[in-house]
Amino acid sequence: MSESPEQKRVAFLRSEVARHDERYHRNSDPEITDQEYDALKRELEDLEKSHPELASPDSPTQRVGDDLVDGFESYAHRLAMLSLDNTYSKDEFFAFVERVEKGLELEGVEFVVEPKIDGVAVSVTYEKGKLVRAVTRGNGTEGDDITANALFIEEIPRELIGDGVPDVVEIRGEIYMRNDEFDRINAERNAAGLEEFKNPRNLAAGTVKMLDREEVAKRRLNIVLYGLGFCEPDIAATQSEFHQRLRSWKFPIGKRHWKVTGAQDAWNAIEELDTLRERFEYPTDGAVVKVNRLDHQDLLGKTSKAPRWAIAFKYAAEQSETVLEGITIQVGRTGVLTPVAELKPTQLAGTTVSRATLHNQEEMERKDVRVGDSVIVEKAGEIIPAVVRVVLEKRLAASEPYAFPSSCPECGTEVVKLEGEVAWRCLNPDCPAQVRGRLEHFASRQCMDIEGLGVAVVDQLVDRSLVSNLSDIYRLTFEQLVDLEKFAEKSASNLVAAIEQSKRNDLWRLLHGLGIPQVGAAAAKDLAKAFGSLESLRAADVERLVEVDGIGEKTAQGIVDFFENETNVAVIDTLFALGMEPTAPESVAEGEAIFDGMTFVITGTLPSMKRDEAKALIESKGGKVAGSVSKKTTFLLAGESAGSKLTKADSLGVEVLSEADLLERIG
């Protein structure tokens, strides 16, 4: 039986929303505006409501966005950290107030209106007045422990001093980066020939998830606190009382708050905030309206992903009308073709905009974008500008639909659309655009970390035919580099030294940098630990690879195919001939590897050691520590407030250990 149009549209929307969730929450690299994302999600919600048979508990409409990433320990929130429902409509906001009043059987409900800060959601926990932990929202149930990075934020009190300090309290807020700090960092990157960051929100999100503490220390982050999570004993009866408590403990809180009664007063506050928010030092994209009384909040309850007692009203992003003068196609590292609108320059959000993303062919066709059209361009949250819609009444009579290229604009190779994908791809590995992308990836901080080998430098090296594959990097000489634009003797010498130093990087960095399909940083670390050398990994078959925790059959086959490719093998052999000597992971001494082949997951608060200490102890005995419970988990090490991981371990029959059990096994 064939799928209905509604089934096909729901499947497409779920795939697209999930893809954008991944880019926004995990990669801090969104490609569409908030309003475009919200429109996709709203369309999906409406379809699921009108066709209940298509609803699914796995739909992205039924869960909180997930920002959990590899490299950080996860920690369970004592009280779920949900997202907020949002609206751009005055009518929908008044309907929200009506639902609240109906739910409470009360007219004239008291609300608090506060700025919606465009940053990274965080929960900061204090026990007996001492700061113990900072955790991201994660999936709402548990988040990444970013305490080490949050400690660089000077505004976070290390201790609560004053009256009424509770035994335990989770305080929610938003980490952000000021515009002047964002500009300073980009000015430094520009001077170094590196690609500039896109916007303050993405840079703040990327910074809190960095493993390089020295780099985090170089970037100034700020925080605003506004929400109450778990608290024992209670410290306030209302949201406004909680704000006063935060102020008394010296927390940075929002610049303005309004305590209002009823829908109209709340709306007046929303409008007033819109006139004031440009003066704030942090980015705001809306207003958050919360029921003031905490007991009323409890009565109203929550859905699976959002409280029923709060809503975010988002201000419409600034838009501008201009003319689309042309369409160019960009080709990325993996060969994906991305259409870009070339615009008649227009002023938007304080800057001159001449280019905007068109995302992909399907989006272009959906909006029916054509060269010569008058278009509405939007730059929400300082993200790359996007074409929102065409002004059809101004369309020229001679306009024609845009013909998406059937061949790569960089190398002329016929493009293909792989099964299950939206994007068109060029499959020519020697395509100059892909070569540039592979070089930038290899040299990036997440891979070989070759300082000074950024986008601008790579472009010059490829354009001058000095580099055509990864191994060519290690043939570069001082004389070649000093001749590059914006290079002097010192910068050339520094880059030569950085390239030489990278030869002895950790093995996982090389594996990640090679661009093996489906092998990110976490998988690269697992493979490095499992095989110890590139030669051993190259010799492994699919059966051996799937024995590595986290490596599935698809990834395993991709690894085998990668090492069977003659071009890849030639590049790797040349790298080693030029002196590549990656550092293998430290092995556990014979007789000490009592946990060899075992996978642990740690959750909750342990009695006498931090989770990082427990992880180091397990790894010193040959064990592996993973971030989530699965069928491959050997033990769950559980402390107080273990949360959802304990439930999942019980359902899978995974043995649960206490800290005392672990120490007893170690002896």
Q: What would the pLDDT profile of 218-255 be if each residue is shown by its tens digit?
A: 899 999 999 999 999 999 999 999 999 999 999 999 88
Q: Tokens for 461, please give them.
A: 């090296």
CATH 3.40.50.10190 range(s) for the chain read: 599-666
CATH for 74-314 is 3.30.470.30
Cis peptide before 166 (omega within 30 of 0): no
CA atoms within 13 A on the CB side of 608: 5
Could you tell me how many residues make up the chain?
667
Question: Cα separation of 80 and 123, whole Å?
Answer: 10
Residue 667 exposed, middle or buried by CB count within 10 Å (0-12, 13-18, 19+): exposed
Position 48 scores a pLDDT of 80
Position 139 scores a pLDDT of 83
Strand-pair category, 337-348 with 351-357:
antiparallel
Q: Which is the catalytic residue, given 41, 116, 615, 624? A: 116
Question: Cα separation of 210 and 146, whole Å?
Answer: 9
Return the CATH superfamily for domain 507-577. Answer: 5' to 3' exonuclease, C-terminal subdomain (1.10.150.20)
Residue of 224, 129, 193 whose CA lies nearest to 167:
129
Predicted structure pTM score: 0.53
CA-atom Rg of the chain in angstroms: 27
Q: Tokens for 463, please give them.
A: 């354009």
Position 455 scores a pLDDT of 87
Identify whether the C-beta of residue 203 lies closer than 8 Å to the C-beta of residue 175. Answer: no
Return the CATH superfamily for domain 432-502. Answer: 5' to 3' exonuclease, C-terminal subdomain (1.10.150.20)
Question: Cα separation of 285 and 316, whole Å?
Answer: 8
CA atoms within 13 A on the CB side of 629: 23
Q: Which residue has the tokens 């739909």?
A: 59
Report residues of the chain scoring pLDDT below 70.
1-2, 21-35, 57-58, 62-71, 190-196, 198, 349-351, 380-384, 549-550, 586-591, 627, 641, 643-644
CATH for 599-666 is 3.40.50.10190
One of 1.25.40.10, 2.40.50.140, 2.120.10.30, 3.30.450.20 is the CATH number of 319-416, namely: 2.40.50.140
CATH 1.10.150.20 range(s) for the chain read: 432-502, 507-577
Question: Cα separation of 572 and 470, whole Å?
Answer: 9
CA dihedral sign of residues 279, 280, 286, 287: negative
Residue of 84, 182, 174 whose CA lies nearest to 136:
174
Position 641 scores a pLDDT of 67
39 in helix, strand or coil?
helix
Question: Cα separation of 78 and 406, whole Å?
Answer: 53
CA dihedral sign of residues 241, 223, 81, 624: negative
Q: Is 116 among the residues known to form the active site? A: yes
CATH 1.10.287.610 range(s) for the chain read: 5-62
CATH 3.30.470.30 range(s) for the chain read: 74-314
Question: Cα separation of 231 and 169, whole Å?
Answer: 4
Any alpha helices (H) in 249-345, and if so which ranges?
A: 262-276, 294-300
Q: Which residue has the tokens 């419409």?
A: 316
Distances (CA, A) of 500 to 248, 511, 529, 558: 53, 17, 24, 30
End-to-end CA distance of the chain: 61
Q: Tokens for 49, please give them.
A: 């409501």
Position 646 scores a pLDDT of 82
51 in helix, strand or coil?
coil
Identify whether the C-beta of residue 64 lies closer than 8 Å to the C-beta of residue 305. Answer: yes
Position 323 scores a pLDDT of 95
Distances (CA, A) of 641 to 124, 171, 272: 15, 17, 42
Return the CATH superfamily for domain 5-62. Answer: Helix hairpin bin (1.10.287.610)
Q: Tokens for 94, please give them.
A: 């008044």
CB under 8 Å, gap of 24 or more: what pairs does 12-18 form? 13/40, 13/43, 13/44, 13/47, 14/44, 14/59, 14/60, 15/422, 16/40, 16/422, 17/41, 17/44, 17/60, 17/61, 18/60
453 CA to centre of own chain: 24
Residue of 227, 294, 299, 235 whose CA lies nearest to 257:
227
Identify whether the C-beta of residue 381 lies closer than 8 Å to the C-beta of residue 118. Answer: yes
Assign 3-class secondary structure to 491-558: HHHHHHHHHHHHCCCEHHHHHHHCCCCCCCHHHHHHHHHHHCCHHHHHHCCHHHHCCCCCCCHHHHHH
Question: Cα separation of 337 and 354, whole Å?
Answer: 20
Strand-pair category, 655-657 with 635-638:
parallel
Identify whether the C-beta of residue 292 lies closer than 8 Å to the C-beta of residue 299. Answer: no
Residue of 87, 162, 169 whose CA lies nearest to 126:
169
Residue 231 pairs in a beta bridge with 169
Q: Tokens for 112, please give them.
A: 């608090």
